[in-house]
Chain A
Amino acid sequence: MKVMMTENLRIDLGTEQWECRHCQNELISARDNYKRALLVYNRDPREIHKPLLDPTKYKRTYSPDPEWCRILEYYCPHCGTMIETEYLPPGHPPVHDIELDIDKLKTQWADRDEVTEVPVGTEPERHVHSHHNGGQQ
């Protein structure tokens, strides 16, 4: 049985492996830190949150300061999906964000059916106000 743990990761309870949900490849033991199976890139935050105010005129530009903030991008080593991102000060140890008791997880799912589609829910229909077409939608 496979249990979906995040938008991008699942655990195969039989093989006790973390797997990528996008390319289906095995990553690392479910008892280990999944990040150890991933590739990491130290991103200058100005490349993502680009300066919207002229950096030659101003120090504060809507971009994070790279001396204070870096983005760690974690990629699946097989398909390149961005599994996780982490905003940290330079040099700050990455956070071990998920550490589960795999034996208890197996017991917990022994009585549950496998979930193959995430119950994400739906957005209720809404009225959108418009002045186009004489107010008609």
Chain B
Amino acid sequence: MNEHVKLTPEQQELLNRFVQDNKMFYAPDPAIMENHRIEPRSDIEEQLLSGDVDPHKTNEVRGLIIAALDETHTMIEQMGAAPGAKWGDMTTAVFTAAGDLSLIAPHGVGGFAAAAFYPIKFINKYWTDEPTVGVKEGDAFIHNDARYGGIHNTDQSMMMPVFWKGKLVCWISATIHEGENGSCEPGGMPAAAESKYDEGLKMPPFRCAENFELKRDIVTFLQNSVRDPKLQLEDMKVRLYSVIRLRERIMAILEEHGEEALIIMLRKQLEDVVEEVRRRIAELPDGTTRTVSFADSTLRENAMLKLNMAITVDGDRMIVDLRGSSPELLNRSINACQASFKTMLFTGYMQNIWPDLPFTMAVFTPFDFIFDDNSLINGSFETPQAMSLIPLFKTMTIACIPMAKLNYSLPHRYTAMVAPQYDQPATLIYGGLTQHGDYVGNFCADINGMGQGGRSHWDGEHSVSPPFAAHCDLGEIELMEEDLPMVRLGAFTLAKDRVGFGKQRSGLGYEQIHTYRRSGLWGFMTGCSGSLFSSAQPLFGGYASPTYPLCKIKGVDIFEELKKDPSKIKFDICYLMNEQPIEGATYSTHDLGMTFELAQPGELYMMCQGAGGGYGDVLQRDPQLVAKDLEEDLISHDTAREIYHVVYDEENLLVDEEATRQAREAERKSRLARGVPYDEFVKTWTTPEPPEHLPFMGCWDQQDEIYGVMMGQRVKMDGKAPLQSQFMLNPKDVEIAGLKAEVAALKAAASQSDA
């Protein structure tokens, strides 16, 4: 508006009303999406909390709510149809009337609940007073688009307001990782999405139930938009009935204890957590710790994508600075918006750093965040984000290292120091026609079996959990095989020698060998980075996880081979790939990021769940623990001798302690001989910019000088301005150009030899 035009207050009011009444599009609201803090107290909260608060009453109400959350979570677990719901990828939760997450189910996935407060705040702000929508008793709202809050669009939430005597007193929710959502690849996490319009369902929060009943026209629209209409209907019912049960329990609490007790409990939970987190930050040393993390793939091509993190403690404030991270990629699906990033970072804090705190986003209220605009982890609205798990899985473990360097000095511990867990979603995604004639698309529960990092007091646990929840399960293969044509030929065999070595070694991941039969249309995809650059980083002088390829054996029907001679087939990835026992088959290894491809029955797709990072110097590992690892077939003799420098009898595994001490002393002397003083080392090591052969994205030596790759060309941009969104070449065009150049070179060589 022309600044010289002066509006009268009446004109200004008219203009404001016009703009409000004629909003073109209710896009995600930055005022909601960029605010991770709890809301100020409402008038009623202020009034109630200013007076005397009975802690016993508060605790009693908390216990009743937790019991109700546990009950309704179990309902989903028992009834849910999604593979995620069967193995723990879900939660129920209770929020304040303003939408702040107060409590989740004891075995719930906290990230889900910590993401659902964004859409609730959107509903409060935009739909409550919107005459065509409104919020009333018996309504339920559905949502899945991470741009309005959420981790990724496979997760669907059902959110219900709870009224008491005509007033909104709280919100409740149920969230499940549904998987299939009508995206361009089956299973809801399409690596092939080149725009957000390839992502399938993108539900901003909208009403899907009235008077406690699903609206069948809305349900039909959603069923018609996905590959698995049965799943969509069943789990909408499951989520609705679990929140209805949760509401009944809340109503009983209101009747018995009154609305004041409920409001006090929900709000006090948040404020107590904020106070405790401020206290925990204040006891840390003031200063800054830093780390970097790299993903080596966009899932379509290799690229070196940097996550840059600095954590600063200043009194009772914690500042998390992510500037210098990779720019966003306009035509790749691995971007994340900042709300998703914060949710997953929070999840990592709750799993690895402060697991004893109540699970509420109030934990982050004392935190400040600094992002570059348009970075990979602060992606803009237009970017595809369907495979945001690539940066977000790293996000869940990245703070382990800088927080360990702040926490270590404390006179007490809230949990063990732990090196990062494996941080890639190493599971097979599948799609096609089942033996029952149904079209489906989803993922395997192996995503829940990542190896833990080594810990200050003990080794990491094997295949223990996903990095977003400690209690999710791996699933039952037999149940999966009843529903799907997939057959698991190798499962849960720990991947020998694929370990984060250290004084305390990481937990191991396990091998997964998949095939299928009895379907005329079936295929697979995978969505991980970490085939060139180690994924899970080490702590305090340990080693990282190794890299992991995807292995395929094609042009074979394994079931026919097993009929011919089962004795020559051993379901061990290294054996099958190195010995190549099946004649005529094609053996190949690939990046662990594969867009969806159809397979033939009996072909093998093989991958590993990964190991975490190692903790501490390998030469400090107890030699007896090395012998135990040998006995349990976790490592080879080469590893015991050459990495851990242990001397022992290979027959009986008896350790020669004195010879081991001498071998380790010799290795320490070798280190002193080969090591170069730091200042001298960096003169020859550090290069002014990334090597030419690396498609590097992010800062190099200066935080505000950001590198990118635009249409195949390296670009350098000013990090102080919003980052330039990058656009990648079509990998097939790149491959065709390479092949054409090869043909031209061969032709030139041939014509030269003819001449």
Contact = CB atoms under 8 A, between A and B. Distances in A.
A68 B591 CA distance: 14
Nearest to B533: A69
Nearest to A48: B543
B395 to A, nearest CB: 17
A105 B286 contact: yes
Interface string B538-556: 1111111011111100000
Interface residues of A, number: 73
Contacts of B415: 121
Contact of A5 (B291, B405, B670, B672): B405
B532 A40 contact: no
A56 B580 CA distance: 13
B296 interface: yes
Nearest to B693: A67
A88 to B, nearest CB: 7
Contacts of A64: 532-534, 546-547
B589 interface: yes
B685 A41 contact: no
Contacts of B681: 39-40, 42
Contacts, number: 248
Nearest to A66: B532
A127 interface: no
B676 interface: yes
A39 B588 contact: no
Given A73-B671, A89-B696, A101-B286, A41 B588 contact: no
B458 A97 contact: no
Contact of B294 (A4, A80, A83, A89): A89
Interface of B: 283, 285-292, 294, 296, 302, 304, 401-402, 404-405, 408-409, 411-413, 415-417, 456-458, 497-498, 501, 503, 531-534, 537-544, 546-551, 574, 577-578, 580, 587-591, 615-620, 638-639, 643, 667-672, 674-679, 681-682, 685-687, 690-691, 693-694, 696, 700-701
A50 B541 CA distance: 18
Contacts of B501: 48
Given A65-B532, A121-B457, A95 B292 contact: yes
A53 interface: yes
A38 B294 CA distance: 25
B605 to A, nearest CB: 14
- In the A-B complex, the 5 residue pairs with the smallest Cβ-Cβ separation, listed nearest first, are A39-B675, A80-B668, A91-B687, A60-B549, A100-B287
A79 to B, nearest CB: 7
Given A80-B671, A89-B533, A4 B409 contact: yes
User: What is the interface of chain A mostly: helix, strand, loop, or mixed?
Assistant: loop
24 contacts: A38-B675, A41-B676, A45-B534, A48-B501, A50-B639, A52-B497, A53-B551, A57-B587, A58-B549, A60-B547, A64-B546, A65-B532, A79-B668, A80-B671, A81-B617, A85-B541, A89-B694, A90-B691, A91-B687, A93-B701, A94-B685, A104-B287, A120-B417, A121-B456
B531 to A, nearest CB: 6
Contact of A95 (B290, B503, B589, B620): B290
B638 A50 contact: yes
Nearest to B590: A60
A65 B550 CA distance: 15
Contacts of A50: 497, 638-639
B578 A57 contact: yes
Given A7-B615, A53-B549, A64-B532, 15 more contacts: A6-B405, A7-B417, A57-B578, A60-B591, A67-B693, A68-B304, A68-B694, A73-B671, A82-B618, A87-B534, A89-B696, A91-B685, A92-B700, A97-B402, A99-B290
A122 interface: yes
A125 B92 CA distance: 32
A52 B287 contact: no
A63 interface: yes
Nearest to B531: A60
A100 to B, nearest CB: 3
Contact of B287 (A74, A83, A99): A99
A75 B638 contact: no
Contact of A122 (B457, B537, B589, B675): B457
